[in-house]
C-alpha cells in the first residue's frame, strides 16, 4: 500500500527511451504495471501523443523530477507536474553527483519537507543510508525508494547487506528498489528480500525486445513476492540429506 492506495502490481515502469510509441504502449500492457513514471520535461517535449499513451494505459501516473539538481528546481517541477497531471504523487529526485546520479541527501530531505507540507505524497529517490531514510520520514515521506545501483547501470543490487539492513530497520515503511535493475532475476531478488516494489526503465526500454522483457519483469516480480510470502529456506554451511536414513532397510 502506497499512501493508502493498494496496487495490484508491484512493478513500476518508466516511460523513457522506448523505440516507438507503439512499443511503449505494448510494453506497459505486457508488464502488468499499475504505476508508470514520467518526467515532466519529457512529457512537455512530446506533448499530446505521449499524453494519450499515458492516459490509455489505465495506469496511475507517478510524475518525477528527473534532472533536477537543486531544491528550488525540484519543488518548482513538482508543482508543475501536479498541475499538469492532476496528482499529488511525485517521485522526488534531487541529483547531487553528475557521474553516478546519486541523490543529494541534504537537498532531498529539504525538498521532501517542503513538498509534504504542500500536500504532496512524496516518493523520494534515495540511497540505502538509514539516517537519510529517518530524516525523509520525519519530513513527511511514507515511502522510501532506495537505489539498487546508479540509474541506467544495470548493475542490480550492489549493496545487499545495506539493503537488507534498510528493510529490517523500516519494517512498516513501503520500500521500492529504484534504479540500477538490469535483469528480471535482480528484480526477483529484491522482492525475495521483502521489498514492496521495483521501479525500472532502461532494462526494458533498451532491450532487444522491450515487450518481451516487460513481460519477463512482470512475472519475475510476482515470483519474487510469492517466494517471500512462502518463506525462503535459510542458507546452510553444510549439506543436509533430503532423503532420511532412518527407517531404511539394512542390507547385509
Annotated binding-site residue numbers for 1-deoxy-D-xylulose 5-phosphate: 152, 179-180, 201-202
> What is the Cα–Cα distance from 196 to 39, expressed in whole angstroms?
23
> What is the Cα–Cα distance from 215 to 110, expressed in whole angstroms?
37
Q: Which of 171, 226, 168, 218 is nearest to 198 (CA)?
A: 218
Query: Which residues are annotated as catalytic?
Result: 91
CB 155 within 8 A of CB 175: no
Q: Which of 41, 100, 104 is nearest to 70 (CA)?
A: 104
Q: Which of 30, 24, 86 is nearest to 50 (CA)?
A: 24
CB-based contacts of 47, cutoff 8 Å, min separation 6 = none
CB-based contacts of 12, cutoff 8 Å, min separation 6 = 33, 34, 35, 36, 37, 62, 176, 197, 198, 199, 200
Report the binding-site residues: 152, 179-180, 201-202
CB 15 within 8 A of CB 201: yes
3-class DSSP assignment, residue 28: helix
Amino acid at each position: 500500500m502506497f499512501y493508502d492506495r493498494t496496487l495490484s502490481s508491484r512493478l513500476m515502469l518508466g516511460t523513457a527511451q522506448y523505440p516507438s510509441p507503439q512499443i511503449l504502449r505494448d510494453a506497459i500492457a505486457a508488464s502488468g504495471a499499475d504505476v508508470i513514471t514520467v518526467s515532466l520535461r519529457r512529457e512537455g517535449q512530446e506533448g499530446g501523443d505521449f499524453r494519450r499513451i499515458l492516459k490509455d494505459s489505465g495506469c496511475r501516473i507517478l510524475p518525477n523530477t528527473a534532472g533536477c539538481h537543486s531544491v528550488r528546481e525540484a519543488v518548482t517541477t513538482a508543482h508543475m507536474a501536479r498541475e499538469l497531471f492532476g496528482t499529488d504523487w511525485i517521485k522526488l529526485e534531487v541529483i547531487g553527483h553528475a557521474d553516478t546520479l546519486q541523490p543529494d541527501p541534504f537537498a532531498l530531505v529539504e525538498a521532501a519537507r517542503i513538498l509534504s507540507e504542500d500536500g504532496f505524497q512524496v516518493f523520494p529517490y534515495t540511497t540505502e543510508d538509514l539516517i537519510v531514510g529517518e530524516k525523509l520520514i520525519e519530513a513527511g515521506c511514507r515511502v522510501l525508494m532506495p537505489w539498487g545501483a546508479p540509474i541506467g547501470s544495470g548493475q542490480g543490487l550492489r549493496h545487499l547487506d545495506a539493503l537488507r539492513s534498510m528493510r529490517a530497520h523500516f519494517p512498516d515503511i513501503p520500500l521500492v528498489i529504484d534504479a540500477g535493475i538490469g535483469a528480471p532475476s535482480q528484480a526477483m531478488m529484491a522482492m525475495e528480500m521483502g521489498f514492496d516494489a521495483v521501479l525500472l526503465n532502461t532494462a526494458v526500454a533498451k532491450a532487444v525486445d522491450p515487450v518481451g522483457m516487460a513481460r519477463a519483469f512482470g512475472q519475475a516480480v510476482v515470483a519474487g513476492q510469492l517466494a517471500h510470502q512462502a518463506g525462503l529456506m535459510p542458507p546452510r554451511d553444510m549439506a543436509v540429506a533430503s532423503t532420511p536414513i532412518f527407517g531404511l532397510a539394512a542390507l547385509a
